[in-house]
Amino acid sequence: MYLTSLVKTLVKKHHASVIVGLGTWQEAEPAASLGNKSQVPILSLANEVPSWAFPHWPFLVNAARNQFAQMKAVAAIIGSWQWRKVNIIYEDTNSAVNSITPYLIDALQEVETEINALVHLLPFLSTILRPKN
């Protein structure tokens, strides 16, 4: 529910032109539905996205199947849109800080995109977003 609200806010109030992230299929699925309704691309970083999802949600894009390739893909898309400044919002965990974020920073430098701000979310916020088993 929180994730859905967050995606709606980014699209409606902040006029986001793309949503990048969503590390699991459970996070990507509701965002993909909203992305289609608002015609905003949802760039998922989930390792597994069912193949049936892409025809159902044409605004859903799966970046890649490993983190380094994902960050290169994100940077390539940003470069193709000729964005020269971006804000990075990430979950402040060891895995994000130590593995994903450095790849993204390097990949963005390769496409000559400046990082305007690095904003971290506290890890407890992600537990709110994850469904309980």
Domain that holds residue 129: 65-133
Same domain, 80 and 113: yes
**Residue that is last in its domain, among 9, 43, 62:** 62
Same domain, 70 and 57: no
Same domain, 132 and 75: yes
**Would the pTM of this model clear 0.85, i.e. be above it?**
no
Q: Which residue has the tokens 């994903």?
A: 100
d(CA 86, CA 62): 20
**Residue that is last in its domain, among 19, 46, 62:** 62
pLDDT in tens, 55-112: 999 988 887 667 788 788 889 999 999 999 998 877 776 555 566 788 889 999 999 9
Dihedral class, residue 130 (left if φ above 0, else alpha if ψ from -120 to 50, else beta): beta
If one counts the domains in the chain, the total is: 2
Same domain, 30 and 79: no
